[in-house]
Chains A and B, each alone.
Chain A
Amino acid sequence: MMRNVDVAIVGGGPAGLAAALAAHKAGARSILVLERDSFPGGILQQCIHNGFGLHYFGQELTGPEYAQRFVDEVEKIDSIEVLLDTMVLQVNPDRSLVAVSDKNGMVRVQAGAVVLAMGCRERTRGALNIPGTRPAGVYTAGCAQRLVNMEGMMPGKRVVILGSGDIGLIMARRMVWEGAKVEMVCEIMPYSSGLNRNIVQCLEDNDIPLYFNTTVVEIHGRERVEGVTVAEVDPATRAPKMETARFVPCDTLLLSVGLIPENELTKGTGAQMDRVTSGAQVDAERQTSVPGIFACGNVLHVHDLVDNVSEEAAIAGENAAKFALGTLQKAETVRVLPEGGTRYVVPQRLVRGEGKAALYFRVRAAYKPARLAVLSGGREIRSVKKRVMTPGEMEKVVIDLKDVAGDVTVRVEEG
């Protein structure tokens, strides 16, 4: 099968679907979404809890409901085709790509523009090098989430959770609600990267203790997990203090220890990457360093709210359509750089000129209160004070592009 389309989108999750709709609105005549799962919606289909859409739709939806809103829109538009059960193997710098599926065999696509929307995957035990045996019963939190919510299977009965990211917190409640005992959540950092509401409604509601500066130092069990050893860590070095080690009996260890943008295909295009976000470097149009290849959503940088993904994907989809139609202006860009407490900023480049641009960034540690300054050409062009900024919440600042007079720096400090 060989296809020619205006815009090809890799991934049919929230980013891919929003990009498809925006590309259609911007005039793309043919849009092809390639999705490896058997249904569109991506990870939202297993996020059955509510709390999605407060910003984007102004109401609280569950993950599947949020996805369905976009699926319904996509289905109404004839020029958007979604190929399911289709795995993209390669994306080339000339905007051609190769995919495979049971139904169509090898699928070759030549696109006017490509939007990368592959999302991210979870860090596993291997990435942490937790010592001990290798029994069954060690799962990433998202894997357990899929088993419980979509396959109807319980991964265990007595659970320890390592990492207090949102998926871990959500799964703590989910496991309790399905009859398991959750012994504790261990967090190596002195703060949680999860949202406040999840700590309250998932842990405190269910009397699950959360231990900061604490990690799992050994996994025990031959066939199945029989327990873990947990220990406090030195907050400065994060080295475990073995005199605090204690054995916690359990049959399951869930890991919620970070997400990694899934960028194997991106690297194949030769796009310049950002070492901090693990995603591509993009300009305000979400175009990578390879002309006509755009990126958005969790493959670009890990978001905590899907609402922000939808917003970002719409930018990428719109500009991909413009590129395919030959109407995207090319212009000189300046760099956008993090400084001080700012860990990274997306986009990494900007075009000077008219209008406004939203900069998304994360801080390294908790700042309470925080002062944010955006500088360009030796001048402060934006200054914001906030009562709190934490690494768990993506921040956004809007700047006026006519103020940009050279590289832009986003700096956060205490104050």
Chain B
Amino acid sequence: MKKEFVCISCPVGCRLTVWQDEKSAVQVEGNTCPRGKTYGVQEFTAPVRTVTSSVPVSHGAQRMCSVKTDAPVPKARIPEVLRAIRGASLRAPVAVGDCVVENVAGTGANVVATRRVTEKKR
């Protein structure tokens, strides 16, 4: 089955057509540089995205702490990853890189904090 993508490697935005030939090799058409081919193959075979969100923090100088997956996760698993993040919370102090959800939705990636939240001064 042929699939169409717009390459995001640079502002040119080549329109890629990607398909699997008889020998199961992935073919890319429409790219004008090697980066386009790499992107096309990746999007066709296993598209991945980094998921970012925020989780509530208790006892913090801020109410929310921003988080991300420390590795890209399969695009199809994003809803599960978001569900897991929605159930998470933190307690201040939080440092950049603190683990929020380990092995989120079984993807192998961890959800980690991307900002520092200090304790609220009393």
Query: Do A and B assemble together?
Result: yes
Query: Would you call A387 and B12 a contact (CB within 8 A)?
Result: yes
User: Does B84 sit within 8 A of A, measured CB to CB?
Assistant: no
- The interface residues of chain A lying within 8 Å CB-to-CB of B54 are 48, 148-150, 152
User: Does A49 sit within 8 A of B, measured CB to CB?
Assistant: yes
Per the bound structure, the CA–CA distance linking A390 and B6 in Å amounts to 16
User: Does A201 sit within 8 A of B, measured CB to CB?
Assistant: yes
Query: Would you call A200 and B8 a contact (CB within 8 A)?
Result: yes
Shortest distance between the CB of B38 and any CB in chain A (Å): 15
Q: Contacts A387-B12, A388-B11; is A62 near B52 (CB within 8 Å)?
A: yes
Q: Contacts A50-B68, A68-B96, A150-B63; is A200 near B6 (CB within 8 Å)?
A: yes
- The interface residues of chain B lying within 8 Å CB-to-CB of A195 are 11
Query: Would you call A49 and B52 a contact (CB within 8 A)?
Result: yes
Closest to B63 in A: A152
Closest to B113 in A: A64
Query: Would you call A149 and B66 a contact (CB within 8 A)?
Result: yes
Shortest distance between the CB of A179 and any CB in chain B (Å): 9
Shortest distance between the CB of A255 and any CB in chain B (Å): 22
- The interface residues of chain B lying within 8 Å CB-to-CB of A149 are 54, 64, 66
- The interface residues of chain B lying within 8 Å CB-to-CB of A197 are 8
Shortest distance between the CB of A198 and any CB in chain B (Å): 9
Query: Would you call A388 and B68 a contact (CB within 8 A)?
Result: no
- The interface residues of chain B lying within 8 Å CB-to-CB of A243 are none
Shortest distance between the CB of B30 and any CB in chain A (Å): 14
Per-residue 0/1 for B48-72: is the Cβ within 8 Å of any A Cβ (1 yes, 0 no)? 0111111010000111101110000
Residues of chain A in range 359-415 having any CB-CB distance to chain B below 8 Å? 387-388, 390, 392-393
- The interface residues of chain A lying within 8 Å CB-to-CB of B56 are 152
User: Does B106 sit within 8 A of A, measured CB to CB?
Assistant: no
Query: Would you call B13 and A196 a contact (CB within 8 A)?
Result: yes
Q: Which of B13, B61, B67, B82 has the most CB of A within 10 A?
A: B13
Q: Contacts A50-B52, A62-B68, A196-B6; is A68 near B12 (CB within 8 Å)?
A: no
Per the bound structure, the CA–CA distance linking A392 and B12 in Å amounts to 12
Q: Contacts A62-B114, A64-B114, A68-B116; is A151 near B12 (CB within 8 Å)?
A: no
Per the bound structure, the CA–CA distance linking A177 and B6 in Å amounts to 22
Among candidates B6, B50, B114, B116, residue contacting A199 with C-beta atoms closer than 8 Å: B6
Query: Would you call B11 and A196 a contact (CB within 8 A)?
Result: yes
- The interface residues of chain A lying within 8 Å CB-to-CB of B12 are 387-388
Per the bound structure, the CA–CA distance linking A196 and B50 in Å amounts to 17
User: Does A205 sit within 8 A of B, measured CB to CB?
Assistant: yes
Per the bound structure, the CA–CA distance linking A218 and B17 in Å amounts to 39
User: Does A45 sit within 8 A of B, measured CB to CB?
Assistant: yes
Among candidates A64, A178, A393, residue contacting B115 with C-beta atoms closer than 8 Å: A64
User: Does A237 sit within 8 A of B, measured CB to CB?
Assistant: no
Shortest distance between the CB of B45 and any CB in chain A (Å): 17
User: Does B75 sit within 8 A of A, measured CB to CB?
Assistant: yes
Query: Would you call B53 and A48 a contact (CB within 8 A)?
Result: yes
Closest to A199 in B: B6
Per the bound structure, the CA–CA distance linking A199 and B6 in Å amounts to 9
Per the bound structure, the CA–CA distance linking A63 and B52 in Å amounts to 11
User: Does A204 sit within 8 A of B, measured CB to CB?
Assistant: yes
User: Does A327 sit within 8 A of B, measured CB to CB?
Assistant: no
Residues of chain A touching chain B, judged by Cβ–Cβ distance below 8 Å, are: 38-39, 45, 48-50, 60, 62-65, 67-68, 71, 148-152, 177-178, 195-197, 199-201, 204-205, 387-388, 390, 392-393
Given A65-B115, A150-B54, A205-B49, 8 more A-B residue pairs with CB atoms under 8 Å apart are A62-B66, A62-B68, A65-B114, A177-B82, A195-B11, A196-B6, A197-B8, A201-B8
A-B contact pairs, 12 of them (CB 8 A): A39-B61, A48-B53, A48-B66, A48-B67, A64-B114, A64-B115, A148-B54, A149-B66, A152-B56, A199-B6, A205-B49, A388-B12
